[in-house]
Structure 1
């Protein structure tokens, strides 16, 4: 590992501690690694550990490593420590070693300036510009120097060059502004003040100067705004309170004169509201907005401004009301829409914070409920009501309020249902709010019959069932809701964990009593809810054995069986690499005596897993069962040609060649047409090359040759 380079990269990435460790590691590995020493000194310099940096740079020089970088580094260390004579000594050597480096000339120029060697300062700045004509800092420093010498034209010339090279330098613009002011060129000064704030919006002195310009030209609103910004950035800035008070008073007088002339003109009221808001007089700002609304109750600006004022003092309910009034006038106003969303978000956060500190804060609970109601987020309204009843001391009163809300909400929701069938779920919510769980369940069931992917209804059905302690079914609904909308993840995980614990408890019960129907049923329902059909079907099978006359269990078993078949068949159709899918699907078909399908599934599995022993064994056993099954069929119907063909095919696959010959011969006796013989030839042409089959045919000479038997 190249330790020095690593340290340098860490320093660039501002990983200081890591950079120091890497440089020290490199030095320990090789004490003569001077690049590592240099990196360590540079790190200390960047952290203002000047003495440590000085010590290392001098050590490097003492070892004979007298490079330009070391001399320049040492010169800058002494400059930082205000030891300008030593700084000059080392920087002069750096310039000698690398004359065409503008940085070292510039560093030396700054040292000469500190030593009051002004001619040498100008000389080194000039040399830096000879080496690099676009070295903006040299132009800026020359401009600064000439400004101090009151050589304003030369200063302007240098600063204009600096700005042309580096237009985004706010300090160059600000210095140029000050020079224009000195020369009485106010227009140029105002332009440069604007440019300063363009590239540094937090430039305090520029804001102050902008305020002075505005005050001079009687733009008191702008002056107030600039002085307020200065106060915000630097609360202790001299004379700012007086400046704000004076300009505010003058601006107030102007607007009050306008109001006196024309009391119905809304503009001066709104301007005063903006002015008061700017200086933090929110009470007066709100008062002016109210005066506007007294003249024009639908004034969107006044409603919106009131919303902003209320939100800024954490009166979020009032803010929301005002934003909604504004949107009633202009529903498409994007600015108000965004402010409303922000008020909802901040209000919820604010009242939740209050409740963290005091769970018995009735006002916070009620405010939170109001916000969710204004949002029309009725699920959250009910959540908060339930939280409130669990947490406050006067829970009886809270439950009564909740019940009253439920009645009112039900009436409101039923009326809405007639108007808009998409909001039927509100009725279910109303029943849930009244704790009428059976009624709520019926409503959500109806919704889900029409729209099985209605996420809100899936979630609420889960809520209802969990309240009824039917955790397994609740989990199924929460799982579906979560898959459609990941925001329901926390609830799903919470219920899933409850189910996992319940599974462990049920397993213990079943170890003690393997025929406990109630526990078996619970296990079946939990696995079914999680769509773990292989586990669920085993438990439903046990229930069918224990209670053979229970039609519900029979139907459940059938439904789960079909769901599992569908699930596994989908995997097999997609050529899944899950071996278990082929084994499980084949086994299910076997259990249902669908042996042809079972063998077909095993064959598909063997294409992907040709050496899989279990698949081979399963196929062989299924084929044996198929032979036995077809033999039983033939006992009832000995002349069924299709069964004879099938028996022959499966008999060959398991090595029952004699049975295959007998079945084929019997089929030929029954069906002797040319077309049917051709079909037999196609179906069993692979038997021609089967030596064992040929041998057996020859033994049964009365049946003819192999070709005669097959063809």
Structure 2
């Protein structure tokens, strides 16, 4: 059966082949003509192709095939066959007009013009057709003179044809006489309604007139006349696009791309349609394809840039929009996209130039500028932020909402005039809680607690059932560290509004500060039940739970689960990394942190956690690289500079610290108040009085709190030892900013002015209110040593509980107990000090005198001799103690030699030298 099937197939094929061989080229040509007569174009084309296969030099077959191609709009195929017909000497009168049109629709304008000599031999009716094509070709190559000349030849012809009117219409359109051109082309169509060039020209005129519905109708008509024309499908798509008929436009573009996948204009249309459908990924892809295959237009750049923006591909958005941004009107939305792309790419200096002509004409515009200004301020570009903000804040308004937004923006940019706007907002709308809250915040910024309390209590009295009023009051109490009063207000707020994040979170913090773990736990459970996926609440929940291993693991698990459900959530990524760092899991924390791409807009916390993680891996070798990358990514960020500055100060490398600050202040941080304050502090802390005074004018030339300026004035007076003038300034500074360092400065000034008792009272009051502060205790203990030594010992003992390895505290305790004849305690403390600092001369000196007092004279001699050798006899106090120990060991001549070498202007030193000399002389 299988062989039989094969034999049957072979027989069939033989019959087909034998039949095929019997047909000649003439047969195929005759068949084609019959098909053409019956309007069976596709069948006619097949027969003509068969004829040409049999007789490649049959010029009639070539001509007829070219003509059919041309009738269907297949320009390239028509050119090929008509050129062959011309080459094979087919009748010139028939070939030339058709070949000219084939050249025209394939945009081969020079080839159209090259037929001019042959065309002039044509009969007038055919010559008229050619001249119409010639005019359009010359217009397209911008040879207007030749076009006009051809028009004159057309006018001189003996007949008026569809093409003579078409010629006139071409030139009228070129001269922008649209109505006249339309009349002329309609006359052309009256004579020959299916003239494809006339239909096409009518569509172009209607496009110029903005009659897009008529344009679509014209193109559809052209498509009927020229069904194989690919360009008409694109033109139909373009017309549909102009009519905002996106569905039809996409359908036409898809039909083109199906056969021509690299057609750039079809990709362009697809990009527009997909953009309008908010399918930005597809819009971006088609825009790229259009550009790749040679299409380039401002509209394409706009679509490509806007699509990339919505996809948050800011680099591509910037690339495309930068080519057209200079041509966009100031109010164009793409201008905002371009500015935000510049921000994301760190091109901060370009933003103000981009928005230089931008004018505010709507609430959206104000919101855009306000947000952008705050983002610039957040990354540290304060000057640029203020320039943009000025477009909003420079105008007065009688609208309460506008005044409050302006006021808040000003305050966030350190412009104190924002308070005036807030007050204006309240005068226009007295019940605005947001304005009241902003005024309280402004007062708290400058530590004006009285003003803040006045506003808060007024608001509370006015709105006793508004939880926000109690939150405002609690904010003031928290700032004053009055935790019990804050707690009362927060509980009342929580009572009025149980779903109250502000109240719950602050109550948790108060419970932690007041060491109430049970209450903190209760509140954290409450907070998590109300705000189960709030990142800040989860952070507090973990902080409360971290001391209980089981609860800590539960908190960690909750945070981990939320992060792993959305690993691109930066807030939870940072929280989980922070938790891992807290548990010393630095490598996993770093892995999470590295998964987020750093940019100029990255929060400082991302970098800070990365620094902490690197500091604990590989001996901290990666820290410098992280800080360098941070500065490079965001040159406006002050935090990395402060970190490096802190490291220099820890190493007591003052010159490097000052060099770093000077470099920053001469670059991106030129007006940074924090760095100016830091430089002034370094200069004052290190006693560089003249440098501080030289820097003072630049320090003043910034938005620095006047109370801080007063503190600096006081410190300069302190260095000048003008204690009486320094005291009121430093006192005011301390009261505004009650820190340990500031109370010490005040105490030093008071003591310098001769008020030792007052300085002691100042330090005691601070410790009573603030509690533990070893720096303050140390200064107070030193003052006690001068007048009330009995008070110094318990103070040092408290310090020792917090700093058990503090050599100074141990040494001072040993000496004080020695002075009070508490030899056993003196031995204990001196032994501990020696263990920590076996080569410190002062520690050895104290140990020697304690040993002497305990009766261990030889041990004392050996110890003090070591201290004396280390100081090379240049420390008078150690030398005197050495002489005393030598006398106790009956080494009087050696003691005398030591005493003889002691020289000092200190009266106490010289008196003791005299006493010891008198003890030696009687024995010599």
Same fold (TM over 0.5): no
TM-score by length of 2: 0.24
Give the TM-score of the pair, scaled to structure 1: 0.30
